[in-house]
Structure formats: structure tokens, C-alpha cells
Amino acid sequence: MNIAKPNSYRSGPDERGHFGIFGGRFVAETLMPLILDLEKAYSAAKADPAFQAEMNGYLKNYVGRPSPLYFAERLTEHLGGAKIYLKREELNHTGSHKVNNVLGQIMLARRMGKKRIIAETGAGQHGVATATLCARFGLECVVYMGAVDVERQQPNVIRMEMLGATVVPVQSGTRTLKDAMNEALRDWVTNVHDTFYCIGTVAGPHPYPTLVRDFQSIIGVETKTQMQEVEGRLPDSLVACIGGGSNAMGLFHPFLDDPSVEIFGVEAAGHGLTQLHAASIAGGRPGVLHGNRTYLLMDADGQIQDAHSISAGLDYPGIGPEHSWLHEVGRVNYLSATDDEALAAFQLLSKLEGIIPALEPAHAIAKVMELAPKRAKDHLMVVNLSGRGDKDVPQVGDILKGKSK
């Protein structure tokens, strides 16, 4: 690809929210004034030490950060290559990395005087994190969730309701994450005067991809320090799963300008890349949806296609715009793992390390199983364990029972 290499991979986006050709602000006029307000509010908050200090307090004492960087000794032994470290985001309050971003956005919403929070959710992890912080700060919370996902992620639905949120099952379109996002945008257009849209991933109109990335970058910042403490140097490779790509961007971004660090993003290949899948980079091309230009799964007429993944959190036909750019400039390698590979990894990590991962990071573990054996024993590989598997236990249990029959 003939794309000029930038001086830094960390300088984006430009003032119009573009990462190369990706990103932008493709939204209805009704939302534009609010998006411009949000951009201003975020710039002001970033420059305000009090904002950062307050956030650090909650990150430490409410979320439970820093999350550990754990040496997975038995997995390393089993695979017989690279030394594998797990960044334990699943130990955060609410069970995933999602809370890092939600905390930041809820604090922004409070600064902006918004009393009503809406969110979309796929697996329910972002919904649970949003419901949790809305409970903590006494804000009204409405979560849009595809009806298919409501079905397969029941534990998280119950959790959100216990936290006082209203969960709206979305019956339109494919009834998954993409449709939940459409419905959240429709709510936002209607209630723009008092409502803050808490987007769960590094996608959507500018400035969302940037602010979500910034709030998630604590993952990579901590990893850098922790690896320095344990091994005295940078890791050699990073691996993370990607739906929209917020846990991956959070881990990757602080390392983008460290050329010795190999970076791997893992998309969901579903039934396989020639069949139904959710791998936008492997199987898609640039298009415009949900406020940004990015790689999307679509047909020849530009109609968005159904994604499929065993993991509700990766079941989305797009990816964050900065990932699209990092793919085109060649800084990050984007791989993919199938449903079956993810299931195998889910079981392996559970049995070897006593850690039941969510199906989302199980996709990352699946690629670690391929990459690690090919690396030297002194190669340091970090995988982002972005969420815990409690929510997936009923679904995986059913699938495994079905398979053993």
C-alpha cells in the first residue's frame, strides 16, 4: 500500500477528527451542535488537573486500578514459546475494561450538566459499566441492546436492571449491536437537550473515537510501567481482540511509537471468513456508518451486512476508525479467530490458569496459541484479558453440551 508513514502514530486525529481518510463527523444536523459542545467540554476537562485527579481517585478506589499484569506460567509452558502476560482488565469493577471509558464519559456528562445517560451494548459489558456509574452518580440510564443479545447475555441484562437501568430490547434490523447503536442515535436525536450518549467503543463521530481511546489508554500506560518493573524492558508483542476496538486501542496506543513492539489485533471470524463473520478489516472496505468512515462489512450497493460472532461484544460490522488507519499504514497486524478457535481458547485458559475469560478476549487468546509457540522463550507477549467470562457461562455451557451429544 502506498501510504506515507507518519512521523508519529500517536498524533491523530486532525482537528476535523480524521485519521487519514477515516473518522470524521457523519451525523444529522440535530446532533452537530452537541458534538461540538462535547469536543469543547472534553478539551477543557483534559486541561483541568482537578478532572484528572478526581478520575484517578475513582479509578483507584472504585474501579480497583491498577489492574495486575500477570505472568501466565502454565499457558506459557503449554505453548512452549513466548513468555505470556495477561493484563487483567477482567478484575476491574463490573468485570471488564469498559468501566475505564464509562467513568471518564460520566464525569464529562456531569461537567456538561446532563442528567440522562443512554448507551448501546452488545455483550452487555458496556451497558453494565454504564448502569453501574449511573447508579453511583444518581443519573437516569437507558441501555439499548439488540433483542438477540438480550437473549444470549441474560446475566448482564439482569445485572443492568438491578442497577436501576432501563434495558430496551431493539427489534429492528438484525437485532444486534449495530441496531442497538442506531436506536441509541435515534433516542439521542430526540432527547438531545438533556441526554448524554455514552458510546462504548472507539467509534462514532469525532470526538468519541479519541476520548474513548484516551480513557482506555490507562491499560497500555500501566502495562508499560508494570513490564518495566517485572522485566526491565518493553514487551515484544501485544495481542487484543477487536469488535469496535476499545480494549485494543487502550493497550496499543501508548506503544504505537515503540517500533520494537509487534502489535496484533484479533477480529472475530465467526463461522470463517468465507462465511458469516464480523471481521471488518479482513472482509470489509471503507464506508460510512454511525458517524465515521471506517472499514465496514457491506454489499456492492453499500448496504450494511449482518455480522456474526459467537461473542455478542464482537458482533458488529465495523471497527473504530483509528484501527482502520493503523491497518492502512501497516503499524498493527489485524488477524482473526473463528468461533471454534475462541471456544477452544476459552476452555484452555479456564483449565490452565483458573481464569474463565469472556468470549471476546478468548479470540485474542486463540491467536496467542498460534503466535506464542513461534516466538523465542525470552519474547515477552502481553494479551489484554479485557473481560471475565461469567456472562458467557450459560451460553458456552449450552454449546459444549450440544457438541458432546
Partner 1 sequence: MTTRIDTRFAELKKQGRAAFVTYVMAGDPDPATSLEIVKALSKSGAEIIELGIPFTDPMADGPSIQAAGLRALKVGMTLKKTLDLVRDFRKEDNITPLVLMGYYNPIYIYGVDRFLADAKASGVDGLIIVDLPPEEDDELCIPALKAGLNFIRLATPTTDDKRLPAVLANTSGFVYYVSIAGITGAAAADSNTVGQAVARIKQHTKLPICVGFGIRTPEAARAIAEKADGSVVGTALVDALKNSLDAEGRATAKTVNAVAELTAALAQGVRAAKQAAE
End-to-end CA distance of the chain: 48
The residue from 147, 189, 344, 399 that contacts partner 1 (CB under 8 A) is 189
Measured from the CB of residue 166, what is the shortest distance to partner 1 in angstroms?
A: 19
Q: What phi and psi values does residue 123 have, to the nearest 5 degrees?
A: -75, -15
**Ranges within 291-320 binding partner 1 (CB under 8 A):** 291, 293, 296, 298, 300-304
Task: Output DSSP code: residue 78.
Answer: H
Q: Which stretch binds partner 1 (CB under 8 A): 161-169, 224-232, 282-290, 396-404?
A: 282-290
Q: What phi and psi values does residue 44 have, to the nearest 5 degrees?
A: -65, -45
**Ranges within 113-172 binding partner 1 (CB under 8 A):** 172
Residue 28 lies near partner 1 (rule: CB under 8 A): yes
Q: What phi and psi values does residue 169 have, to the nearest 5 degrees?
A: -70, 130
The CA distance from 81 to 378, in Å, is 8
Which residues, including other chains, have CB under 8 Å from residue 47's CB and lie 6 or more apart? none
Measured from the CB of residue 99, what is the shortest distance to partner 1 in angstroms?
A: 27
Residue 288 lies near partner 1 (rule: CB under 8 A): yes
Measured from the CB of residue 205, what is the shortest distance to partner 1 in angstroms?
A: 9
Nearest CA to 323 among 279, 366, 387, 367? 279
Catalytic site residue from 39, 90, 120, 183: 120
Which residues, including other chains, have CB under 8 Å from residue 170's CB and lie 6 or more apart? 144, 145, 146, 147, 179, 180, 182, 183
The residue from 19, 20, 34, 324 that contacts partner 1 (CB under 8 A) is 34
Question: CA 12 → CA 26, 48, 187, 322, 402, distances in Å?
Answer: 18, 21, 30, 8, 47
Q: Which stretch binds partner 1 (CB under 8 A): 127-135, 150-158, 178-186, 209-217?
A: 178-186
The three cell numbers of residue 280 are: 471488518
State the DSSP H helix or E strand holding residue 181, giving kind and residue range, or none if neither. helix 177-190
Residue 290 lies near partner 1 (rule: CB under 8 A): yes
The CA distance from 205 to 293, in Å, is 9
Whether 73 is catalytic is: no
Residues binding partner 1: number (CB under 8 A): 37
Give the residue with the Cβ less far from partner 1, 28 or 44: 28
Give the residue with the Cβ less far from partner 1, 26 or 70: 26
Catalytic site residue from 96, 246, 324, 386: 386
Residue 29 lies near partner 1 (rule: CB under 8 A): yes
The residue from 112, 135, 192, 399 that contacts partner 1 (CB under 8 A) is 192
Measured from the CB of residue 296, what is the shortest distance to partner 1 in angstroms?
A: 8
Scanning 81-168, the segments in alpha helix (DSSP H) are 98-111, 125-137, 147-152, 154-162
Residue 403 lies near partner 1 (rule: CB under 8 A): no
Give the residue with the Cβ less far from partner 1, 257 or 306: 306
Chain residues in the site for partner 1 (CB under 8 A):
16, 24-34, 172-173, 178-179, 182, 185-186, 189-193, 287-291, 293, 296, 298, 300-304
- What residues are annotated to the active site? 98, 120, 386
